[in-house]
Structure 1
Amino acid sequence: MDHPTDSTAMVAAISGALADPGPEDRELLASIVQVARSIFGAAASSIFLFDREHDELVFEAVSGEGEDFLVGTRFPAHRGIAGWVADTGEPMTVDRLAGDGLFAQDLAERTGFVPDAIMAAPVMHRDEVLGVIQVLDPHPQSRSSMSDLDLLTAFAAQAGLALSGLVRSRAARGALALGGGEFARLAGIVRLLAELPEDRRASGLRLVDSLHEVLAGMVR
C-alpha cells in the first residue's frame, strides 16, 4: 500500500467486516420473503439487491417459485417492473401483466415462472434505493388495495436494514481482498473471527487485542 490514506481505508474495511459478518442478514431476508408470501397468499416473493457496479438486479432471497435456484441470478437493472421500481423509488402494483408495457416477459421466462400480477416496492436505507421486494400473483383480494402496498413497503423497510448490512459486509471484505498479499493473513483472520460462534468470538477478539498491544509496542 503506497499512500497513507490506504491504511485508513483498510482499518475501516476491517472494522466493517468484523462488525457485520452477514449470515444474520441473509437469514432475515429469507424470513421476510417467506412471511410476505404467506401474508399475501402469493405464488412467490423475492428481494433483489441493486448491484450498482455491474448495473444489475440480483436475487438475494426467494420464497416460493424459483426458491431452489434463483438466488444469485442477475438481470439488467433497468428493465421490467422491478427495474422501474429501482429507478423511480416508487412502489407499484399491476393486476394484469399481459400486455403491460413495463413487464419484461422474456426475463420472467428465464426464471421459469411467468406471473399474472405483481406488487413491488423499493428496498431503501437512508434514502438510497438498495433493491426491490416483489410479490408475484398475490391473492386477488390483495392486488388493488393501497393498504397492501403500504404493508409491502413496511416489509421493504425491514429488508433495507438487512440489505445495508450485507452490502457493508461485502464491501469491507472486498476492500480487504484488494489490499494485496500483505493483507492476506489479516483478511483470513477477519474471516475466521466472523465465522466463530458467538460463545467463542470473545476469546478470539482477546487474542486480537493481545496482538494489537504487541504491534503497538513495536511502532512506539
Structure 2
Amino acid sequence: MNGTCRAAETDPVARDLLQSVVDTARAIFGAAASSIFLLDREADELVFQAVSGEGEDFLVGMRFPAGRGIAGWVAGSGEPMVVDDLSQSAGFARDLAEKTAYVPNALMAAPLLGPDGVLGVLEVLDPAPQARASLGELDLLALFARQAATALAAVLERRAADAGQAAAARVLRDLDDAGRAAGLRALEAVRDLLAAH
C-alpha cells in the first residue's frame, strides 16, 4: 500500500479531514452520499477512505480495481465528470455499485490532485438536480477536491516531518554522551549551512 493510503488510514487528523470533506460535499450538493477513494498505486486499487450518507457504516476500507467505473476513469484521466443518468453510461460499473448496497442514479466526481499526480477521487452520489445542472457546479466540486487534496498533502507532510523528528530523537537518545554531542554539533552545522543559503 502506498504512503497516502497508509497515512490516511492511520493518521487521525487525515481521517478527520477526509470525513469533513465528504460531509461538506454531501451538504453542499444536497446529495444522498459522498465518498473519497484514495489510489493505492501498488495494488492498483481505489480504497474507500471516507463516506458520508449511504454506506457510511461499512464502506471505509472496501477496495475496487482502479481502472473500473466512473471513479476509475476520473483517477486515470485526472478530469472531473458528471453523469446525470447512470443507466445510460457505458463507463458506470453497476456491479461495483451493487457491492456497496447503494446504486445511484447520478453522480459527480473530481480527482484529488497532489504534487505527484492523482491521489484519489471525490464522488458525490445522487446530488440534487440543481447541483448537477451546470458545469459551474462541476467546477465547484473540482475546486473543492483540489482544496481537499492540498489539505491532505499538508497533513501527510506534517506527519512525515513528525516521524523524522521522532526518529532523530530516538537516535540521539540511544547514543552515549560523546555520540550525542557529536550528533548535535552535526545537526547545528547542517542548520547553519541551510540558513546561509
TM over 0.5: yes
Q: 1:143 aligns with which of 132, 137, 157?
A: 132
Task: Report the AA paired with residue 211 of structure 1.
Answer: R
Provide Cα deviations, 1:43-97, integer angstroms capped at 9, x if missing partner.
0000000100000000000000000010000000000000000010000000000
Q: List 4+ stretches of structure 1 deviating above 6 A.
A: 166-170
Task: Report the AA paired with residue 82 of structure 1.
Answer: A
After TM superposition, the structure 1 = structure 2 runs for residues 196-207 of structure 1, keeping only pairs within 5 Å, are none
Describe the shift of the 1:215–1:132 C-alpha distance in structure 2 as closer, same or farther (beyond 3 A): farther
CA distance in 2, matches of 1:57, 1:216: 49
CA distance in 2, matches of 1:138, 1:84: 19
CA distance in 2, matches of 1:120, 1:55: 19
Q: 1:68 aligns with which of 57, 65, 68?
A: 57
Provide Cα deviations, 1:148-202, integer angstroms capped at 9, x if missing partner.
11111122112213443676689x7xxxxxxxxxxxxxxxxx6xx7xxxxxxxxx
Task: Report the AA paired with residue 70 of structure 2.
Answer: I
CA contact 2:80–2:138 (8 Å) conserved in 1: yes
CA distance in 2, matches of 1:88, 1:166: 25
Describe the shift of the 1:99–1:127 C-alpha distance in structure 2 as closer, same or farther (beyond 3 A): same
1:101 maps to which residue?
A: 90
2:193 maps to which residue?
A: none
Gaps of 5+ in 1: 1-12, 173-189, 194-204
Describe the shift of the 1:121–1:216 C-alpha distance in structure 2 as closer, same or farther (beyond 3 A): farther
> Which protein, 1 or 2, shows the higher relative CO under an 8 Å CA cutoff with sep ≥ 6?
1
SS at match of 1:98: helix
Percent identical among aligned pairs is 59
CA contact 2:17–2:152 (8 Å) conserved in 1: no
CA contact 2:173–2:180 (8 Å) conserved in 1: no
After TM superposition, the structure 1 = structure 2 runs for residues 102-117 of structure 1, keeping only pairs within 5 Å, are 102-117=91-106
After TM superposition, the structure 1 = structure 2 runs for residues 1-220 of structure 1, keeping only pairs within 5 Å, are 22-126=11-115, 128-164=117-153, 208=170, 211=173, 214=176, 217=179
CA distance in 2, matches of 1:145, 1:75: 29
Task: Report the AA paired with residue 42 of structure 2.
Answer: E
Describe the shift of the 1:109–1:137 C-alpha distance in structure 2 as closer, same or farther (beyond 3 A): same
Provide Cα deviations, 1:7-62, integer angstroms capped at 9, x if missing partner.
xxxxxx9xxx9xxx821111011001001000100000000001000000000000
CA contact 2:106–2:125 (8 Å) conserved in 1: yes
The alignment covers a number of residue pairs equal to 171
TM-fit CA distance, 1:129? 0.4
SS at match of 2:61: coil
CA contact 2:172–2:180 (8 Å) conserved in 1: no
CA distance in 2, matches of 1:216, 1:108: 61
| TM-score (norm: length of structure 2) | 0.76
What do you get for the CA RMSD once the two structures are aligned?
A: 3.0
Gaps of 5+ in 2: 183-197
